[in-house]
Homo-oligomer: A and B are copies of this chain.
């Protein structure tokens, strides 16, 4: 029994408020991080909220990387979903961690597309 995709759910607390509100820095870290990880970037969509906060998703050939930030709370929710076994999700997260500087974080891995049979 093998999964189609691995979905990493990051919870980041105590982040730098300026980093959390820096759309350009976040987007750059996500796209370059995806490349570091061996992923192929296909497109992106980002939005800067007023007065603060960033939402953005980069779609990759291997699935997606998403972020939502709350600068006023020092919090970010990050998802890295990859359906390739040849990519390194932690590498995709590395640059983002550098921009956001979380004081504490958790990461959970969800197996997506688990077939109980011999389909995959």
- Chain A residues in contact with chain B, CB under 8 A? 4-5, 7, 9, 11, 13, 42-47, 49, 55-57, 59, 61, 63-64, 66, 68, 70, 73, 75, 77, 79, 81, 83, 110, 112-115, 119-120
Q: Are the C-beta atoms of A68 and B73 separated by less than 8 Å?
A: no
Report the bound CA distance from A56 to B60 in whole Å. 10
Which residues of chain B are within 8 angstroms of A9 by Cβ–Cβ distance? 7, 110, 112
Q: Interface majority SS on A: helix, strand, loop or mixed? A: strand
Q: Are the C-beta atoms of B73 and A59 separated by less than 8 Å?
A: no
Report the bound CA distance from A71 to B110 in whole Å. 21
Minimum-distance CB pairs A-B, first 5: A43-B45, A45-B45, A57-B57, A77-B112, A42-B47
